[in-house]
Amino acid sequence: MFGSNRMEVQFSFVPTAENINEPLVLPPAQLVEDYNIGAVILQAGPALRARIARMEVLGFTVERRAGPYVIMMASE
């Protein structure tokens, strides 16, 4: 799977039926569980190390670096 330079990504948009007027704080661990998130894509920048550390706490590991992006996969 990681032997080529090609990467396929599928994004989903789930519309909400209710109007949200106030910002919500969503716990990352709960989001990972509720939406069965198996991978994350992070963009390189000053906060990259901190973001990687936060994702590692949630069970993700760095699998590949592709240009300015880091791909992390959920542990089994």
pTM here?
A: 0.68
What is the C-alpha to C-alpha distance for residues 59 and 10, in angstroms, rounded to an integer?
Answer: 21
What DSSP letter does each residue of 30-61 carry, written as one string?
HHHHHTT--EEEEE-STTHHHHHHHHHHTTEE
Confirm whether 55 is domain-assigned.
yes
CA distance 67 to 56: 21
Quickly state the pLDDT bin for 3 (edges 50, 70, 90).
Answer: low
User: How many domains is the chain partitioned into structurally?
Assistant: 1
Enclosing domain of residue 56: 38-74
Confidence at residue 28, expressed as pLDDT on a 0 to 100 scale: 86
What are the tens digits of pLDDT across the range 38-70? 999 999 999 999 999 999 999 999 999 988 999
Q: Does any domain span residue 62? A: yes
Q: Is residue 64 assigned to a domain? A: yes
Place of tokens 């000053």: 46
User: Is residue 28 domain-resident?
Assistant: no
